[in-house]
């Protein structure tokens, strides 16, 4: 008698061949109920927002592919993966095309429902203060914050199209929104030319990505987590959002996104943000 996985694989191949499409990928051996669990891939999951994304998605029963540039040094992530068997830790440097290609090869066509491009580079504020701008540093900001999410989305497009939800998100910042920077009442980050500029570039790239993939059924949006104390230094104030609350809000926003929301800019609480 065929095993559950073998039967599913046979059905999968039969449907794909008759439809003239690529064969689908059966889930690995294990609990058959895991076949119904959606899959999310989170970049920069070794700490901060990404780690909390991995924790909350795993607690919801999702299969989580949690990536880090240096998995062997991602102690908190590895500890979380020991707690949740649904978390698989993978290595990737989102700014390195070869590293992204290697990850794509390892995933081997595995369907992905949601891609959360969380990995980012805030850098040292001293690098981009007027009068002392270190112009040798701009490349690091743009490669990680803008090009990295686009590189991941392009490389994993077949995986996303094979998924059920087909959602691609990127965590951005109001620092990259013209509406925020021209609002006299909004608190400003002094300088930060590279960080804000890279997030503005990300925003435009993802609006373009949403337009290019809408006909394929992909929902693409950018999200702001708000001002979150990701380093645990006890930052407080009226604008600070607890990390657990921010990520819970973002997951709720992601859950509710439809194709009609493609190309939108949303806050962690669901409010639309003007570009």
**pLDDT attached to residue 30:** 39
Q: What is the CATH number of the domain that holds 216?
A: 3.40.50.720
Contact indicator for 162, 111 with CB cutoff of 8 Å: yes
Nearest-angstrom CA–CA distance, 170 and 175? 14
In a domain, 20, yes or no: no
In a domain, 66, yes or no: yes
Low-confidence ranges of the chain (pLDDT < 50): 1-33, 233-234
In a domain, 48, yes or no: yes
**pLDDT attached to residue 122:** 87
Contact indicator for 120, 113 with CB cutoff of 8 Å: no
**pLDDT attached to residue 189:** 63
pLDDT digits (tens, 9 = 90+) for 223-245: 999 988 765 544 555 678 899 99
Nearest-angstrom CA–CA distance, 6 and 120? 40
In a domain, 139, yes or no: yes
Q: Look at strands 63-68 and 87-91 and give their pairing.
A: parallel
**pLDDT attached to residue 35:** 58
**pLDDT attached to residue 232:** 52
**pLDDT attached to residue 192:** 78
Nearest-angstrom CA–CA distance, 264 and 238? 26
In a domain, 31, yes or no: yes
**pLDDT attached to residue 137:** 87
- Measured CA distances, 232 to 49, 60, 62, 228, 271 (Å): 11, 24, 26, 9, 26
pLDDT digits (tens, 9 = 90+) for 101-113: 999 999 999 999 9
**Domain total of the chain:** 1
Q: Give the list of residues 6+ apart from residue 24 with CB closer than 8 angstroms, or none.
A: 12, 13, 15, 16, 111, 162
In a domain, 199, yes or no: yes
**pLDDT attached to residue 83:** 97
Buried b (16+ CB within 10 A) or exposed e, 67-80: bbbebeebeebbeb
The boundaries of the domain holding residue 120 are 27-267
**pLDDT attached to residue 19:** 42
In a domain, 187, yes or no: yes
In a domain, 38, yes or no: yes
């Amino acid at each position: 008698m065929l095993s559950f996985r073998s039967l599913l694989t046979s059905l999968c191949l039969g449907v794909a061949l008759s439809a003239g499409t690529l064969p689908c990928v059966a889930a690995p051996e294990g609990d058959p109920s895991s076949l119904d669990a959606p899959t999310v891939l989170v970049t920069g999951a070794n700490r901060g927002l990404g780690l909390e994304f991995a924790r909350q998605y795993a607690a919801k029963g999702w299969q989580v592919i949690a990536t880090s540039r240096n998995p062997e040094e991602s102690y908190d992530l590895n500890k979380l993966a020991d707690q949740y068997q649904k978390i698989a830790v993978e290595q990737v440097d989102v700014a390195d095309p070869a590293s992204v290609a290697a990850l794509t090869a390892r995933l081997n066509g595995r369907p992905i429902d949601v891609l959360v491009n969380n990995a980012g580079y805030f850098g040292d504020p001293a690098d981009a203060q007027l009068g002392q701008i270190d112009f040798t540093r701009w490349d690091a900001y743009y490669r990680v914050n803008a090009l990295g999410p686009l590189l991941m989305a392009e490389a994993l497009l077949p995986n996303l199209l094979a998924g059920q939800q087909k959602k691609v998100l990127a965590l951005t910042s109001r620092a990259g929104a013209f509406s925020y920077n021209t609002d006299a009442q909004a608190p400003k980050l002094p300088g930060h030319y590279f960080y804000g500029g890279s997030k503005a570039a990300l925003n435009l790239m993802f609006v373009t990505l949403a337009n290019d993939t809408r006909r394929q059924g992909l929902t693409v949006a950018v999200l702001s987590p708000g001002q979150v104390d990701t380093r645990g230094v006890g930052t407080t104030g009226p604008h600070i959002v607890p990390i657990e609350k921010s990520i819970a809000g973002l997951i709720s926003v992601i859950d509710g996104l439809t194709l009609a929301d493609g190309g939108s800019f949303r806050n962690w609480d669901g409010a639309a943000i003007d570009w």
